[in-house]
Amino acid sequence: MAHEYLAQANAITSEDDNARRMTLFDKATLHFANIVVRDDADDTLRADALYTLRWIEAYVRHDYDLALQYLNQYLEIVGPEHESYPTCLAYKADDLWHFGAQDSALYYAYKALSLPHTTNDRIEYICHHVMWNIYESKDMPDSASVHRAMHMKVKGSREFVPLTMNELKNQLKTNVISSSSRRNVALVLVPFLVLLLALVGGVLVLRRKRGKRSSETHSIPSEELTLTSKTEDLSSALNRGLLAFKTTSAYEEILAMKLNERELPLSSSDSVRAIEQSLLESFHEARQILLENTEVNDQELVCCLCMYLGVPNSIIAHLGFTTTATIRKRKERIRKKLSPELYEVIAQEKR
């Protein structure tokens, strides 16, 4: 019944029927709100209800404070391992931007983009739109233009609109799987998988015995191929990032600091943050590769990019409001977290 209310309300386009439309949304909201507070509602029903309530508040009533409350409860139920998690972080960034919390919106936009989402252009579309508008409002034209270009690129490949009712229903049907359902599936699949693994293992043993000499002579370990690919991808991404970064005012500021390394001027936190943001945006491809393949944190990531640019420890320390001794320790941690091949690409210092 509640989904029927939503479908009927969504079908109303005339301004004259707006009161009836909102009445239908009110009825649907009441229904889903009751599910959320019901003691006998399982996580699947509760998550479905919260997801729908967030959709109503964000796209119908534009009450982003309430939308964020519903979305946070939904994320708490499904957890970070769920397939909808990156998309919902993008929605959170969008809600926070509309709510006026710009810095928090940027954080969740970056976080959503850092998570795997190869089949979901909606995340790219939402996050770059949010970042474009925020940087434009902060009077950071270089950063704004980068994200505007990326947003328009995604938009050009597909027209995006807020979730339609059909899309919403499909997500509610497929995105949230109850723990009981997962257990039932596991009971059926586990014995089958054990048998299948045993058969595959037997076949592999026979093949290994028959072709051991040939494989040792002619094959290249898959790990080596993967590492080579990652190294080449990182090198190419860094080169593209360098070209982009050279067009920014932050690059000119770093060059000026190199010329006056012994008498570095006092820098405000805003100017330092602007330089860091420009670095992360220009080198966004390299940033993605490092986040996916290493365990570097945000500070170490900025340090990696500065190393690639050949920035001295004194300037890195100046930008991080810390000491050169701390930077040396940070570089040692980076060396341990990166493979020798990736570290060599980062530490070339040819710029």
Give per-residue burial for 124-155: e unless 16+ CB within 10 Å, then b. bbbbbbbbbbbbeebebebbbbbbbebbeebe
In whole angstroms, what is the distance from residue 185 CA to residue 183 CA?
5
Please give the C-alpha separations between residue 51 and each of 88, 123, 206, in angstroms, as whole numbers. Answer: 9, 17, 51
| pLDDT given at position 216 | 42
pTM over cut 0.85: no
In whole angstroms, what is the distance from residue 255 CA to residue 214 CA?
55
Contact between 52 and 169 under an 8 Å Cβ cutoff? The reply is: no
Angle at 158 between CA 70 and CA 245, to 5 degrees: 85
| pLDDT given at position 93 | 92
All domains in the chain, ordered by first residue: 2-174 (1.25.40.10), 229-346 (no CATH)
Other C-beta atoms lying within 10 Å of the C-beta of residue 105: 23
pLDDT in tens, the chain (351 residues): 556 766 776 677 766 677 877 888 788 888 788 888 777 878 888 888 888 888 888 888 888 888 888 888 888 888 888 888 888 888 999 999 998 888 888 888 888 888 876 555 788 888 989 999 998 898 888 888 888 888 888 777 654 444 444 454 444 444 433 334 444 444 444 454 555 555 555 545 555 555 544 444 344 344 444 556 778 888 888 888 888 888 888 888 888 888 877 777 776 777 888 888 888 898 998 888 888 888 888 888 899 999 999 999 989 888 887 888 889 999 999 989 988 888 888 886 444
